[in-house]
Structure 1
Amino acid sequence: MLKSALIEETAALITRGPTPGGIPVEPENVYAYGSSGGGYAALRSALYRDGLNVIAINPQTQLAAYGPKWTRRFAQNCYGRKKIEDIAERYQGRFTALDPQILKNARHIFYAQNTEDQEHMDNHFNPFLNFVAQQNADDRLTVHTFADPPVTPQAKTKRHSTPYCTTFARTRRESDQRGCL
């Protein structure tokens, strides 16, 4: 109950503005942004705010398809269960961004995906694209893919912080090429 009220109150706050009297907020200027689990939350936020613009970077789109280490922690900490399968059926709608209402409510979704992350490609990105196509909602989705290779343990030991890295490395790729942290 408390979590539901918190989400509804947050949506109301966004609608009326951050001050008690409210600052007018044009619907096209309201965004939810997140990466990974925050990307999942940004997508799900469209359920509570009609006309929301969503920016999701490498999001999980189905919690049950995420790694067991994390889903076990989630199930234990949030529901007192050992694994997500123990609660998924009862709360199935809460654990997915493959919800037609998200596509209906979202003004637009910008989805950025690292193509080097095969687990996310297979378990989250491709199912989401297929879902959007099945819902005939392609017009609400902009997709950006990029290739950012994973950092190996060996590469981490060679990385360092320098004035160049903190001042001039403007992109992750440039940072990786120069060995920045």
Structure 2
Amino acid sequence: MNPEPIAAPDRGGISVPVVRVESADELVFNPQRGALRYSVPLDDRGSLDALMLNKGSRALVVVFHGAMLNGRHHLPRFEWLRTLDERAEYSCLFLSDPTLSVDSKLLLGWYLGWEGMELYPLLGEVITKAAQAAGAEQIVLVGSSGGGFAALQVAPHLPGTLAIAFNAQTALNRYHWKAQANYIRRVRPALEDRGKSRRKWLSALGSRVSAVQTYSGPVRNRALVVQNVRDEHHYAKHYLPFKDSVQGGPNAQRVRFEEYSAAPFHEPPSRGRFVETIDRGLTMLEDWTA
């Protein structure tokens, strides 16, 4: 018998009752209000862990996390849980990156998946099931840094949704080589054996590693891309190239860009900015679908 949802999760959500299913095809979210975790083996390499806060709201906010901190690599990771648990306006689905379950030393996986496991369409199906169980008519996908990249990449598999990306990578071959190499060597070593320049190893994965490429063709979702202008690497290497590409392409009316000024390094947005942007995003989604 599956456990009953609880009223509120603890810090990190680790003690929330867990529903274990045999496969993603068998995953069914409980329609009752409250908090439940779900553990889903995907294949013999990795698994999906999710935490659902079903508040019976009209909107569902789906949260993707960024990189783990070295020495604090504890899975599952449910980023922004404490912040969003307080919000009654929307149900929430927190997705821990299954890619990190492949290797305990991997700190960042962008929800890319592994050989034979394309996560973006699969996560789209999982999110659809969660929205149906919660009775949600609106879906917002949100994340910062690597989580923002994932939000941008999964949203095209969910027409009518909104992706909100804070200080996100938009093309992984422009990101720090150490993070690229760690993913390749721990998850996809066959790419390293291709004999090409290491800067081209990830190119074998096509649009999966480039939101610039994904949004170069028409998409049916919306996006709000938010960037700290003092985060120099992400502003110059990711935000501006993505903005230039989108504004000259078929999705110019579907993607909005916002800039702000904070500390001069790469950090998540403040709690206030994070929540306020989600609230505005839901209003935008209302206006777009009106």
TM-score, normalisation: structure 2 = 0.45
1:103-135 CA-to-partner distances (Å, cap 9, x unmatched) read 5121x2111101001111111011111111121
The AA in structure 2 aligned to 1:85 is R
**Alpha-carbon offset, residue 62 of structure 1:** 0.3
**Alpha-carbon offset, residue 86 of structure 1:** 5.0
1:32-54 CA-to-partner distances (Å, cap 9, x unmatched) read 11100000000001232122210
C-alpha contact 1:31 1:52 (8 A) present in aligned 2? yes
1:24-103 → structure 2 map (5 Å cutoff): 24-26=135-137, 29-80=138-189, 81=192, 85-98=199-212, 99-100=214-215
Separation of aligned partners in 2, 1:113 and 1:58 = 5
Say if 1:145 and 1:50 are closer, same or farther in 2 by CA, change over 3 A: same
Tell me how large the CA RMSD over aligned residues is. 2.8
1:132-167 CA-to-partner distances (Å, cap 9, x unmatched) read 11214232122221111236xxxxxxxxxxxxxxxx
Q: Counting helix residues as a fraction of each chain, which structure ranks higher?
A: 1
C-alpha contact 1:103 1:140 (8 A) present in aligned 2? no
1:104 pairs, out of 208, 214, 219, with 219
Q: Counting strand residues as a fraction of each chain, which structure ranks higher?
A: 2
Q: Secondary structure at the match of 1:54?
A: strand
Say if 1:102 and 1:39 are closer, same or farther in 2 by CA, change over 3 A: farther
Counterpart check, 1:144 vs 2:255: no
Separation of aligned partners in 1, 2:187 and 2:216 = 24
Q: Secondary structure at the match of 1:94?
A: helix
**Alpha-carbon offset, residue 13 of structure 1:** 3.1
Which aligned segments of 4 or more residues in structure 1 are displaced greater than 6 angstroms? none
Corresponding pairs, count:
149
C-alpha contact 1:63 1:95 (8 A) present in aligned 2? yes
The AA in structure 2 aligned to 1:37 is G
1:116-131 → structure 2 map (5 Å cutoff): 116-131=230-245
1:13 maps to which residue?
126
**Alpha-carbon offset, residue 76 of structure 1:** 1.3
1:175 maps to which residue?
none
Where does structure 1 lack aligned partners over 5 or more consecutive residues? Answer: 152-168, 173-181
Counterpart check, 1:134 vs 2:248: yes
C-alpha contact 1:46 1:102 (8 A) present in aligned 2? no
C-alpha contact 1:47 1:102 (8 A) present in aligned 2? no
Larger-Rg structure: 1
Higher RCO structure (Cα 8 Å, ≥6 apart): 1
Q: Secondary structure at the match of 2:124?
A: helix
Say if 1:89 and 1:171 are closer, same or farther in 2 by CA, change over 3 A: closer
Where does structure 2 lack aligned partners over 5 or more consecutive residues? Answer: 1-114, 274-290
Separation of aligned partners in 1, 2:271 and 2:125 = 36
Say if 1:89 and 1:14 are closer, same or farther in 2 by CA, change over 3 A: closer
The AA in structure 2 aligned to 1:105 is R
C-alpha contact 1:103 1:137 (8 A) present in aligned 2? yes
**Alpha-carbon offset, residue 64 of structure 1:** 0.3
Percent of residue pairs identical: 25
C-alpha contact 2:218 2:250 (8 A) present in aligned 1? no
Q: Secondary structure at the match of 2:263?
A: coil
